[in-house]
């Protein structure tokens, strides 16, 4: 399929073709569906006179409940050191970024982003009546409906409201599992982990038969309608993703081992190849540090913060740093007092981070008191996380229907210039 | 090898109804008036398609002979046959053959390098390895042995998962394995944390033994299960330092569900479970660690212990609703009206949480065969693989392609669930990449010669933690000159993959013989027979048309020439197309 995108008589790359809206190819009924889709969408975009590069939202989930007090250390807070006799990060080791705060010693990536003014730290994020269950709390963050439920995620609803007619590649979820956050009524997110495996292994005769068998139609059986739709998205997108990732070469070091590095590099590849995707979602687990927290965080904090820093460097390298912003969240923070197993138990509020060149770097949200805790010994929430969501939807993506998406009116932070 | 696909009983093959196989799709889903109706279907309602639906859900589907066996019974007999499976002899099923990686007397808590090295320093011996009193790299043999055991344990876990899935393929008691799989998902425990496969094996055996017993028995057994005790930290739950992990999950995920307890209930229940721990592979109740003082749980006061908590939980109205609803969603469908939910909970309570009467009601109900339930589920990755090979007539999961990689990529690696909530299941299994991956895996099983041999070790969930440990990046065990950690890890890993041998045998089967014995003579009959054998719903006209054209082009003529060399490949290509259509994901 790659040769369709790179005709023999044309030396242009797929990136150029995608960016040019494929107009020059003469989109016709003989082309596969994905080219028609992408071509039509991009042509419409070109006609409407919008900028070629629209803003892109990247959401990174840190699953398991990251200990905010270890990432962003309140180095002048005696209560912190009293509550964490073995786990507190010593003031001398923290990477100081203000009078009162320093990052974890293995987070030099965050230190640099903050000092460069590319990072907004939003303190005390959470919601009222916090759930201490991973599964409930993550669901609340995914749906943006705390202590309630919704079949669609907040990003899915945003996509439905903002771009009901968007191309098939509008949402990309890099990972093995589609997140509830991107589950949508009108879009089928492209979810993949390994681009090499995102490709049908068939003969050309079988491929031709399978293309004929692709029927994105509604039938009486709702499960089959769902499967028909996913099948069509798969047929339309797999070659595009594989080729984009295979061709992508970067000199930026995304850091050590781990899934987030690979996932973010795939995001960079798709952005670079001109995908019409506006929402990317990636996740990194392993933050549920009930025991041996110090050891776990030494690796995980490094992997995560290095990968994020590298991704932003890479965007700068390919000239797309002005087009992207990253929002980082976790389903909850952890308890203030350390436990008897060298770890911390499930907590409530924690910091969120917004990263990007267009971000107004600095502090947002109030830092919760370490003395005035709730009945479980957890931090009190100072900032509703949906304010951060609203900020991303309205201030960053420029869509003024955040209140409908989020089912409530949440003040934005003023985190973008 | 083709196995005669019967249920282990002497069984006369029923003459096929048509020229090529039974009436696969006749009288499939019942009328929509059956939705929500728990009244049993009758013999007059019975059909091949409905028996196939039953076997698909209560087991893993099967070859036509298995379904015809059930079709020949009444629905009540067929359900009894599946639910009261103890009457079926399963003694011929192969037992798991352990590699034997653990030296005698090794205590599992000593297995990690962090535990073994201090022990070796202190006593001069650990993990069955003696070390010199001094000298450079004197601890290296212990470090190597420790890494060997870590790697070998994960590989042995992979072997056991393969054995289990193969048992699902070949068992004459499909519901036994299906329910064992359900409990593995429900009491989701991962060897990612345990790193001791013997505990996982033991939990698997317990789940199988109690698969369709009573829910109380299961809750007690799992609360005392050594794997669970480690997984949810109840071994750390002692009077002086209560650990809430297990108490929280038994309420939230195992028995009640969110909203049916308070944080106070969890704290008090945790105190009641103090002292329940394990020693090696056995439950131990350490009275000296038990908090015997009074607790208040759900408003009841008493000096409760773990048994009392379980009884208090089961006394809650929410408990029967919780587990009845979960079983219904697992076997029938996602949507559950409050009325039906209450009726199902009543069945469970009226039977003292005994599972066989409940499952019998469920599998016989009109609702189970209604259009809302019939062929509306998405197969899980494991069920997809097992049912495919069962329908093909194999007697095991093939060694090539790699079953573990398939499960990892699809997100359902046995003994490595993502977290204590188990697998999300349903539609969340399906996205564009997993849909493609499913067809590719089965295609590789049909054409194993196209699979490149696996590289050493492989990646994914089971190995990722140790990959981190063994990567040069990690220097945390390397600060002493007594040993070299990366080197020990590499050596241990090499020895582990030499010691624990994974089965790499491709499946041997003959599709031509299968079709010939079903009296399939033309390309069209081949399309219809294979679609009938492998799908739960008929192909759309467009898809059937594309397959007819494909097979006509490939065969060159209408009648199949079974002598021709290319016929087997053509039939396999056709089957690959059939398992690639969206319909194939339906159960």
Look at residue A14 in the predicted model and tell me its pLDDT.
44
In this model, does residue A38 exceed pLDDT 70? no
- How many residue pairs from chains A and B have C-beta atoms closer than 8 A? 169
Q: Which of residues 514-533 of B touch A (CB under 8 A)?
A: none
* ipTM at complex level: 0.91
Look at residue B425 in the predicted model and tell me its pLDDT.
86
Q: Distance, in angstroms, between B226 CA and closest chain A CA? A: 19
> Average of pLDDT values for B404-429?
90
Give contacts of A338 with chain B, Cβ < 8 Å.
none
B517 against B454, higher pLDDT: B517
Flag the least confident range among A257-261, B187-191, B335-339. Answer: A257-261
C-alpha distance from residue B460 to each of A326, A338, B434, B562 (Å): 26, 31, 15, 42
Look at residue B375 in the predicted model and tell me its pLDDT.
98
DSSP sequence for B63-132: -HHHHHHHHTS-HHHHHHHHHSGGGS--TTSPPP-----SPTT--GGG-SHHHHHHHHHHHSEETTEE--
B512 against A192, higher pLDDT: B512
Instruction: Encode pLDDT of B256-276 as tens digits.
Output: 999 999 999 999 999 999 999
pLDDT level of residue B484 (50, 70, 90 thresholds): confident
Instruction: Check CB contact under 8 Å for B576 and A176.
Output: no
Look at residue B431 in the predicted model and tell me its pLDDT.
86
Look at residue B409 in the predicted model and tell me its pLDDT.
84
Flag the least confident range among A325-334, B86-95, B190-199. Answer: B190-199
In this model, does residue A268 exceed pLDDT 60? yes
Give contacts of B523 with chain A, Cβ < 8 Å.
none
A185 against B371, higher pLDDT: B371
Considering chain A, what percentage of its residues have pLDDT values greater than 70?
87
- The partner residue sitting opposite A230, judged by closest CB among B243, B430, B443, is B430
Look at residue B467 in the predicted model and tell me its pLDDT.
40
Look at residue A32 in the predicted model and tell me its pLDDT.
41
- Mapped onto helix, strand or coil, the DSSP state of residue B285 is strand
pLDDT level of residue A358 (50, 70, 90 thresholds): very high
Determine the residue of chain A that is closest to B248 in CA distance: A133
Report the C-alpha gap between B52 and B67 in whole angstroms: 5
pLDDT level of residue A257 (50, 70, 90 thresholds): low
Determine the residue of chain B that is closest to A220 in CA distance: B371
Give contacts of A376 with chain B, Cβ < 8 Å.
263
In this model, does residue A293 exceed pLDDT 80? yes
Q: Which of A129, A131, A195, A227 to mutate to test the interface with B (most CBs of B within 10 A)?
A: A227
- The partner residue sitting opposite B550, judged by closest CB among A209, A220, A227, is A209
Look at residue A334 in the predicted model and tell me its pLDDT.
97
Instruction: Provide the token pair at A367.
Output: 């830092």
> Average of pLDDT values for B360-370?
98
- The partner residue sitting opposite B432, judged by closest CB among A131, A234, A376, is A234
Instruction: Encode pLDDT of B187-229 as tens digits.
Output: 999 998 888 999 999 999 999 999 999 999 999 999 999 999 9
Instruction: Check residue B300 and report its DSSP letter.
Output: E
pLDDT level of residue B482 (50, 70, 90 thresholds): confident
In this model, does residue B5 exceed pLDDT 80? no
In this model, does residue A399 exceed pLDDT 90? yes
pLDDT level of residue A30 (50, 70, 90 thresholds): very low
Instruction: Provide the token pair at B253.
Output: 């995920």
Instruction: Encode pLDDT of B115-140 as tens digits.
Output: 889 889 999 999 889 999 888 889 99
Within an 8 Å CB–CB cutoff, is residue B580 touching chain A? yes
Instruction: Encode pLDDT of B149-196 as tens digits.
Output: 999 999 999 999 999 999 999 999 999 999 999 999 999 999 988 889
Per-residue buried b or exposed e for B320-345, using 16+ beta carbons within 10 Å of the residue's own CB: bbbbbbbbbebbbbeebeeebbebbb
The residue among A114, A81, A79, A78 whose CA lies nearest residue A96 is A114
Q: Distance, in angstroms, between B583 CA and closest chain A CA? A: 6
Considering chain B, what percentage of its residues have pLDDT values greater than 70?
91
Give the 3-state secondary structure of chain A.
CHHHHCCCCCCCCHHHHHHCCCHHHCCCCCCCHHHHHHHHHHHHHHHCCCCCCCCEEEEEEECCCCCHHHHEEECCCHHHHHHCCCCCCCCCCCEECCCCEEECCCCHHHHHHHHCCCEEEEEEEECCCCCCCHHHHHHHHHHCCCCCCCCCCHHHHHHHHHCCCCCCCCEEEECCCCCHHHCCCCCCCEEECCHHHCCCCCCHHHHHHHHHHCCCCCCCCHHHHHHHHHHHHHHHHHHHHHHHHHHCCCCCCCCCCCHHHHHHHHHHHHHHCCCCCCEEEEEECCCCCCCCHHHHHHHHHHHHHHHHHHHHHHHHHCCCHHHEEEEEEECCCECCCCCCCCCCCECCCEEEEEECCCECCEEECCCCCCCCCCCCCCCCCCEEHHHHHHHHHHHHCCCCCHHHHHCCCCCCCCCEC
What are the residues whose beta carbons fall under 8 Å from the beta carbon of B181, sequence distance 6 or more? B168, B382, B383
Residue at token pair 């013999």: B43
In this model, does residue B551 exceed pLDDT 50? yes
Look at residue A256 in the predicted model and tell me its pLDDT.
62
Within an 8 Å CB–CB cutoff, is residue B484 touching chain A? no
Mean pLDDT of the residues in chain B: 90
Instruction: Provide the token pair at A292.
Output: 């041996």
Determine the residue of chain B that is closest to A193 in CA distance: B433
Structural contact between residues B67 and B52, judged by C-beta atoms closer than 8 angstroms: yes
> Average of pLDDT values for B493-497?
95
Look at residue B20 in the predicted model and tell me its pLDDT.
63
Look at residue A233 in the predicted model and tell me its pLDDT.
87
Mean pLDDT of the residues in chain A: 87
Q: Which of residues 207-236 of B touch A (CB under 8 A)?
A: 233, 236
Instruction: Encode pLDDT of B281-327 as tens digits.
Output: 999 999 999 999 999 999 999 999 999 999 999 999 999 999 999 99
Instruction: Check CB contact under 8 Å for B433 and A193.
Output: yes
Q: Which of B35, B370, B416, B433 to mutate to test the interface with A (most CBs of A within 10 A)?
A: B433
> Average of pLDDT values for A65-81?
97
In this model, does residue A365 exceed pLDDT 60? yes
Determine the residue of chain B that is closest to A236 in CA distance: B432
pTM given for the model: 0.79
What are the residues whose beta carbons fall under 8 Å from the beta carbon of B503, sequence distance 6 or more? B159, B162, B399
Look at residue A133 in the predicted model and tell me its pLDDT.
86
Give contacts of A135 with chain B, Cβ < 8 Å.
252-253, 419, 421
Within an 8 Å CB–CB cutoff, is residue B553 touching chain A? yes
Note the Cα A224 to chain centre separation in Å: 29
Structural contact between residues B382 and B165, judged by C-beta atoms closer than 8 angstroms: yes
Within an 8 Å CB–CB cutoff, is residue B450 touching chain A? yes
Look at residue A6 in the predicted model and tell me its pLDDT.
27
Give contacts of B553 with chain A, Cβ < 8 Å.
205
Could you tell me which residues are beta bridge partners of residue A20? Answer: none
- The partner residue sitting opposite B437, judged by closest CB among A197, A256, A376, is A197
For strands A190-192 and A171-174, give the pairing.
Answer: parallel
Look at residue A136 in the predicted model and tell me its pLDDT.
86
Look at residue A235 in the predicted model and tell me its pLDDT.
87
Instruction: Check CB contact under 8 Å for B586 and A227.
Output: yes
Q: Which of A1, A212, A213 to mutate to test the interface with B (most CBs of B within 10 A)?
A: A213
């Amino acid at each position: 399929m790659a040769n369709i995108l790179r005709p023999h008589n044309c030396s242009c790359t797929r990136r150029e073709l995608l960016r040019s809206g494929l107009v020059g190819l003469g989109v016709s009924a003989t082309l596969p569906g994905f080219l028609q889709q992408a071509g039509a969408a991009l042509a419409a975009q070109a006609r409407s006179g919008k900028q070629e590069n629209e803003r892109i939202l990247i959401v990174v989930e840190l699953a398991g409940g990251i200990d905010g007090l270890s990432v962003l250390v309140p180095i002048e807070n005696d209560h912190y050191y009293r509550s964490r006799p073995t786990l507190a990060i010593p003031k001398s080791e923290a990477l100081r970024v203000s009078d009162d705060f320093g990052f974890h010693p293995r987070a030099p990536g965050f230190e640099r982003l903050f000092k460069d003014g590319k990072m907004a730290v939003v303190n005390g994020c959470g919601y009222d009546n916090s759930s201490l269950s991973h599964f409930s709390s993550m669901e609340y963050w995914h749906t943006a409906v705390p202590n309630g439920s919704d079949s669609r995620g907040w990003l899915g609803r945003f996509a439905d409201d903002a771009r009901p007619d968007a191309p098939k590649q509008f949402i990309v979820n890099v990972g093995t599992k589609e997140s509830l956050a991107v589950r949508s009524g009108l879009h089928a997110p492209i979810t993949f982990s390994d681009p090499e495996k995102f490709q049908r292994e068939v003969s050309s005769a079988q491929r031709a038969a399978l293309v004929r068998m692709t029927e994105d139609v509604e039938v009486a059986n709702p499960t089959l309608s769902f499967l028909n739709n996913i099948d069509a998205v798969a047929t339309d997108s797999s070659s595009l993703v594989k080729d984009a990732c295979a061709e992508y070469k970067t000199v930026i070091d995304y850091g050590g081992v781990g899934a987030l590095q690979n996932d973010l590099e795939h995001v960079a590849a798709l952005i670079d190849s001109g995908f019409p995707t506006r929402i990317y979602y990636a996740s990194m687990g392993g933050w549920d540090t009930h025991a041996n927290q110090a050891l776990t965080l030494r690796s995980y904090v490094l992997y995560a913060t290095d990968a994020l820093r590298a991704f932003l460097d890479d965007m700068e390298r390919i000239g797309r740093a002005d087009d992207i912003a990253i929002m980082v969240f976790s389903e909850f923070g952890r308890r203030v007092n350390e436990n008897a197993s060298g770890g911390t138990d499930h907590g409530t509020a924690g910091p969120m981070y917004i990263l990007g060149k267009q971000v107004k770097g600095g502090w947002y949200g109030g830092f919760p008191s370490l003395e005035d805790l709730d009945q479980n010994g957890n931090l009190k929430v100072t900032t509703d996380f949906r304010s951060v969501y609203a900020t991303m939807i309205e201030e960053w993506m420029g869509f003024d229907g955040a209140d409908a998406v989020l089912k409530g009116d949440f003040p934005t932070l003023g985190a973008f210039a | 090898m083709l196995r005669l696909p019967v249920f282990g009983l002497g069984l006369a093959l029923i003459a096929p109804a048509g020229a090529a196989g039974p009436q696969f799709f006749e009288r499939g889903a019942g009328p929509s008036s059956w939705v929500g109706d728990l009244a049993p279907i009758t013999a007059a309602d019975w059909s091949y398609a409905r028996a196939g639906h039953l076997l698909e859900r209560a087991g893993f589907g099967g070859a036509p002979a298995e379904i015809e066996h059930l079709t020949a019974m009444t629905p009540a007999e067929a359900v009894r046959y599946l639910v009261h499976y103890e009457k079926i002899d399963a003694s011929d099923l192969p037992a798991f053959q352990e590699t034997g990686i653990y030296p005698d007397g090794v205590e599992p808590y000593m297995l990690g390098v962090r535990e073994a090295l201090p022990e070796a320093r202190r006593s001069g011996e650990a993990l069955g390895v003696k070390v010199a009193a001094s000298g450079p790299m004197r601890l290296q043999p212990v470090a190597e042995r420790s890494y060997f055991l870590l790697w070998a344990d994960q590989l042995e876990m992979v072997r056991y998962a393969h054995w289990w899935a193969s048992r699902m393929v070949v068992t004459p008691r499909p519901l036994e394995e299906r329910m064992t799989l359900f409990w593995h998902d429900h009491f989701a425990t991962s060897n990612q944390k345990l790193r001791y496969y013997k505990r996982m094996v033991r939990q698997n055996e317990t789940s199988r033994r109690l698969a369709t017993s009573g829910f109380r028995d299961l809750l007690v057994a799992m609360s005392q299960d050594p794997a669970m005790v480690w997984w949810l930290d109840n071994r750390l739950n002692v009077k002086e330092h209560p650990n809430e992990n297990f108490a929280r999950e038994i309420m939230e995920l195992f028995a009640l569900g969110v909203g049916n307890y308070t944080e106070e209930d969890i704290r008090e229940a945790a105190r009641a479970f103090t002292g329940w721990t394990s020693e090696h592979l056995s439950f131990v109740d350490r009275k000296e660690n038990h908090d015997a003082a009074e607790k208040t749980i759900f408003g009841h006061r008493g000096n409760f212990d773990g048994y009392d908590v379980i009884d208090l939980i089961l006394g809650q109205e929410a408990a029967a609703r919780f587990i009845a609803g979960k079983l219904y969603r697992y076997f029938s469908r996602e949507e559950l009206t409050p009325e039906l939910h209450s009726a199902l909970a009543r069945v469970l309570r009226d039977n003292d949480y005994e599972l066989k009467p409940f499952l019998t009601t469920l599998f016989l109900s009109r609702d189970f065969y209604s259009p809302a339930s019939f062929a509306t589920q998405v197969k899980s990755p494991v069920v997809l693989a097992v049912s495919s090979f069962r329908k093909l007539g194999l007697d095991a999961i093939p060694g090539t392609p790699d079953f573990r990689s398939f499960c990892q990529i699809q997100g359902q690696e046995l003994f490595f669930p993502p977290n204590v909530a188990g697998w999300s299941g349903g539609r969340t299994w399906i996205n564009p990449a997993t849909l493609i991956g499913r067809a590719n895996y089965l295609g590789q099983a049909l054409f194993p010669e196209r699979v490149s041999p696996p590289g050493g070790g492989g990646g994914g969930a089971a190995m990722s933690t140790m990959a981190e440990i063994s990567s040069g990046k990690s220097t945390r065990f390397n600060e002493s000159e007594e040993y070299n950690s990366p080197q020990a890890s590499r050596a241990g890993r090499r020895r582990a993959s030499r010691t624990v041998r994974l089965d790499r045998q491709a499946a041997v089967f003959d599709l031509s013989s299968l079709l010939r014995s079903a009296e399939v003579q033309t390309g069209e009959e081949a399309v219809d027979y294979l679609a009938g054998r492998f799908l739960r719903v008929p192909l759309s006209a467009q898809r059937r048309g594309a397959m007819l054209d494909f097979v006509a082009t490939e065969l060159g003529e209408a009648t199949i020439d079974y002598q021709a060399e290319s016929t087997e490949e053509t039939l396999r290509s056709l089957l690959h197309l059939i398992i690639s259509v969206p319909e194939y994901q339906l159960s």
